[in-house]
A and B are shown apart, each in its own frame.
Chain A
């Protein structure tokens, strides 16, 4: 059954009967069908090992589907040539639980890094990094190294790096996983602001409070399948297949 919300806006992300089986034989995803309209804010929830991270990895094309098709912005990821992949990744901003900041680089250099790979001029890099620092409220910390920042500040740097090149999609894998509730909430405010500017946000999370408070679209994944797709949903702990219902 295809669980597609009846959105009027065209989908920019589309999973069509996607299966993913790893070489070890582990079946991580089974017949996943999903459509995400442009500008959507989507939570992926589910127990550990349910397949959330596999879905994220497929979206950033770290993995290819074993069966089925994934379209992002009209391009089928499974058939994308390797040399086109960097260009695709430039459309996406990625945020991870472990921040993935480079410890040898300052805050400024970490954020500028995403623009350097695009070959942007120094002048443009300066302007864009200043803008990103302003968005995440880290002005004055440009020359600090990640080790001297709190977890929340490090995640802000990671978010600034993810949005500095104005991506159309933000994909976040447990971005609040290492943060205390107050900091997690601040980080979520940032994601909401980025979403309000038009970026589509897909976020895998275990943070029940945030999901329940924000009441955004929730995709619950259980045992590699979409168990629930709520347009303005809650977290729920019960991922039993009996709960599956199209909203």
Chain B
């Protein structure tokens, strides 16, 4: 009996989708547009988070310059002190020779490297901090250490890190806010579109109720039709986003080079999952709410 009812619901959802094609297409179109907006938001959010991750990785590492006259034991002790600090992810010691070799290996320093006599560079401790917020505290610890080079203690740029932190917070907030707005708008639009579809079929619903259909029997086909509509819309939105994703990123990169936006094909599967899920849920929720007024016996 349940299987027969499910078969009936699936059949009538399918038939009704095609029989009311104009209204069905209007619903597909509105959900598609909303999902494209949501998809663009997700893609932009993902690209920006990659850019921010890159910046974060850069600024969460500080180099502590070691004064030339600091005994090696003192350096090791301080390295050990930093290693056991819970805020620190890793510490590596770079000797003066290694620092020079590193400097010379950079092609940008080629001409400068040829003019260097001796080794003017400091040995250094490269410290990677777990949380960006703790970089300032580690910098303070380093500056208080007796072995630090007093003329150039660290490469920490507090102002830049603070700005990055603020930007990152604002972008997350804006992304979340946009998603919430899109969600509310989409539910309202879908609900009204589906309510129009349901209004066209109010006679059918009335007859269903009069011949003894239960509320769920009446509602079932509409909810399934909503899911179907949502999935079709999500597939169209996904196809358009996938087609447009790479060219848009490449164009953006060539036009605005200083923001290193990247194309990430691995993200498409998670985008597909999110959009299909959102489409199905939007369709189901919109239908459920849209049909409620007419279904109540």
Contact residues of A with B, CB < 8 Å? 60, 82-83, 85-90, 92, 94, 100-102, 104, 113-114, 116-121, 161, 165
User: Given the complex of chains A and B, what is the CA–CA distance between A82 and B212 in angstroms?
Assistant: 12
B217 within 8 A of A: yes
Interface hit among B25-33, B188-196, B199-207, B222-230: B199-207
Inter-subunit contact B207/A102 (CB<8 Å) = yes
User: Given the complex of chains A and B, what is the CA–CA distance between A92 and B210 in angstroms?
Assistant: 9
B92 within 8 A of A: no
User: Given the complex of chains A and B, what is the CA–CA distance between A193 and B121 in angstroms?
Assistant: 111
User: Given the complex of chains A and B, what is the CA–CA distance between A165 and B208 in angstroms?
Assistant: 14
- Interface size class on chain B is 10 to 19
User: Given the complex of chains A and B, what is the CA–CA distance between A25 and B295 in angstroms?
Assistant: 26
Listed A/B pairs (9) with beta-carbon separation below 8 Å: A60-B210, A86-B297, A88-B212, A89-B212, A104-B204, A113-B208, A117-B211, A117-B214, A120-B4
B5 within 8 A of A: yes
Contact residues of B with A, CB < 8 Å? 1, 4-5, 8, 19, 203-204, 206-215, 217, 297
Take A85-B297, A100-B203, A102-B204 as given contacts and tell me if A118 and B214 are in contact as well, using a CB distance cutoff of 8 Å: no
Q: Which B residues lie within 8 Å of A94 (CB)?
A: 210-211
Take A85-B297, A89-B210 as given contacts and tell me if A117 and B217 are in contact as well, using a CB distance cutoff of 8 Å: yes
User: Given the complex of chains A and B, what is the CA–CA distance between A88 and B213 in angstroms?
Assistant: 10
Take A102-B203, A121-B4 as given contacts and tell me if A82 and B210 are in contact as well, using a CB distance cutoff of 8 Å: no
Inter-subunit contact A86/B212 (CB<8 Å) = yes
Inter-subunit contact A161/B5 (CB<8 Å) = no
User: Given the complex of chains A and B, what is the CA–CA distance between A87 and B212 in angstroms?
Assistant: 6
Q: Which A residues lie within 8 Å of B19 (CB)?
A: 104
Choose from B5, B206, B211, B214 the contact partner of A113 (Cβ within 8 Å): B211
Inter-subunit contact B203/A82 (CB<8 Å) = no
Known: A89-B211, A94-B210, A113-B211. 17 other contacts (CB 8 A): A60-B210, A82-B297, A85-B297, A86-B215, A86-B297, A87-B212, A89-B212, A100-B207, A102-B204, A104-B19, A113-B207, A113-B208, A116-B8, A117-B208, A118-B212, A119-B5, A165-B211
User: Given the complex of chains A and B, what is the CA–CA distance between A161 and B210 in angstroms?
Assistant: 11
Inter-subunit contact B212/A90 (CB<8 Å) = yes
User: Given the complex of chains A and B, what is the CA–CA distance between A120 and B207 in angstroms?
Assistant: 17
List the 4 shortest-distance A-B pairs measured between CB atoms, nearest first: A90-B212, A89-B212, A117-B213, A114-B211
Inter-subunit contact A100/B5 (CB<8 Å) = no
User: Given the complex of chains A and B, what is the CA–CA distance between A119 and B212 in angstroms?
Assistant: 11
User: Given the complex of chains A and B, what is the CA–CA distance between A120 and B8 in angstroms?
Assistant: 10
Q: Which A residues lie within 8 Å of B212 (CB)?
A: 86-90, 92, 114, 117-118, 165
Q: Which B residues lie within 8 Å of A120 (CB)?
A: 4
Instruction: Tell which of A87, A90, A119, A121 has the most Cβ of chain B within 10 Å.
Output: A119
Inter-subunit contact B209/A89 (CB<8 Å) = yes
User: Given the complex of chains A and B, what is the CA–CA distance between A104 and B20 in angstroms?
Assistant: 10
User: Given the complex of chains A and B, what is the CA–CA distance between A49 and B44 in angstroms?
Assistant: 65
In chain A, what residue has the closest Cβ to B1? A119
